[in-house]
Amino acid sequence: MKIIIANWKMNVGVRESVALARGTLLTLRGRKLIPELVICPPFVALSEVRKVVARSAVALGAQNVSWAESGSYTGEISARMLQELGVTHAIIGHSERRSLLHETDEMVNKKVLHALASQLTPIVCVGETRQERQAGKTHEVVGQQLKAALLDVRLRVTDRLLIAYEPLSAIGSGEAASVPEIVETHTFIRSLLREFFGERVASAMQILYGGSVDGENAYGFLREQQVDGVLVGGGSVKINQFKDIVHAACEVLEAQQKV
């Protein structure tokens, strides 16, 4: 199975989100084999978007979640509040939150633990900067982020936790990472997950690529066995672009079925 996560960021209001959700549903029309689809609208649009995707194959995700259950956390949103709105997934540790809002590895870890305890599926984002890659530090940086994010995490085979590898230079830049770079890093991430959780759990976990995924490059990423899916930002709020990405995933699934 392949999975596509749409991260709408702070790019659409409630009305646009509803229209985009309708458009997203239409991308699946007429396709027999479809990827798993999770859309992550801004918080304020969740309840309206929920009405659109109810009883469809599209799941709802949040772009962030608090580590606390409730209390004096002005401006924060808890896992339980999200679940009340039908949310099943939460993006955690996105690089924009790490860099712009100073979210630390420790905060990311607390959020992951709380999300799992609340039966929300975490989508944990990791990724190195261009300078770190050029200095040959990708494994060191990504390894450190993963180790910190997954500290004290215990997973059973039935628990879900997704990893999104998003090199910072690729996010919103139009310069996606190359397929060999992605495959190599995903293989490294999988080996770490094996170390942390053992073969059975690690082999069931999904590792996604994110960063300037568009209608043209999506097929090339998704056809790789090491790429379980894509996390799409800019390309997910332009419905024609997103349609091409979804169709690329459908075509990969169809091609795999023939083998």
The residue range among 42-50, 104-112, 142-150, 226-234 that interacts with ligand PGA, by the rule CB under 6 A, is 226-234
235 touching ligand PGA, by CB under 6 A: yes
Grouping H, G, I as helix, E, B as strand and the rest as coil, residue 123 is strand
The residue range among 78-86, 104-112, 189-197, 233-241 that interacts with ligand PGA, by the rule CB under 6 A, is 233-241
Grouping H, G, I as helix, E, B as strand and the rest as coil, residue 154 is coil
166 flagged as catalytic: yes
CA distance to 26, 91, 114, 137, 146, per residue, from 74 (Å): 37, 20, 18, 37, 28
Residues in 6-35 at the binding interface with ligand PGA, rule: CB under 6 A: 7
CA dihedral 64, 70, 74, 76 (to 10 degrees): 10
Looking at 96, 103, 128, 166, which residue is catalytic?
166
Residue from 58, 234, 246, 252 binding ligand PGA (CB under 6 A): 234
In what helix (H) or strand (E) does residue 200 lie, and over which residues does it extend? helix 199-204
Distant-in-sequence, close-in-space partners of 241: CB < 8 Å, separation ≥ 6: 214, 215, 235
Residue from 40, 155, 218, 231 binding ligand PGA (CB under 6 A): 231
210 touching ligand PGA, by CB under 6 A: yes
**Token pair 């989508």: residue:** 123
- Give the residue closest to ligand PGA by C-beta: 233
12's tokens = 């659409």
**Token pair 């995903």: residue:** 186
Distance between CA atoms of residues 165 and 142, nearest Å: 8
Residues in 89-128 at the binding interface with ligand PGA, rule: CB under 6 A: none
Closest by alpha carbon to 123, among 132, 115, 131, 134? 115
Kindly write out the interface string for residues 169-198 of this chain, putting x where it contacts ligand PGA by CB under 6 A and - elsewhere: --xx--------------------------
Distance between CA atoms of residues 189 and 194, nearest Å: 9
The residues pairing with 122 across neighbouring beta strands, listed in sequence order, are 90
Kindly write out the interface string for residues 151-170 of this chain, putting x where it contacts ligand PGA by CB under 6 A and - elsewhere: ---------------x----
Residue from 93, 122, 167, 211 binding ligand PGA (CB under 6 A): 211
Which amino acid does the sequence have at 207? I
> Would you say 4 or 252 has its CB closer to ligand PGA?
4
The residue range among 32-40, 48-56, 189-197, 229-237 that interacts with ligand PGA, by the rule CB under 6 A, is 229-237
The nearest distance, CB 211 to ligand PGA, in angstroms, is 5
Kindly write out the interface string for residues 54-93 of this chain, putting x where it contacts ligand PGA by CB under 6 A and - elsewhere: ----------------------------------------
Distant-in-sequence, close-in-space partners of 69: CB < 8 Å, separation ≥ 6: 78, 79, 80, 114, 118
Where does this chain bind ligand PGA (CB under 6 A)? 7, 166, 171-172, 210-213, 231-235
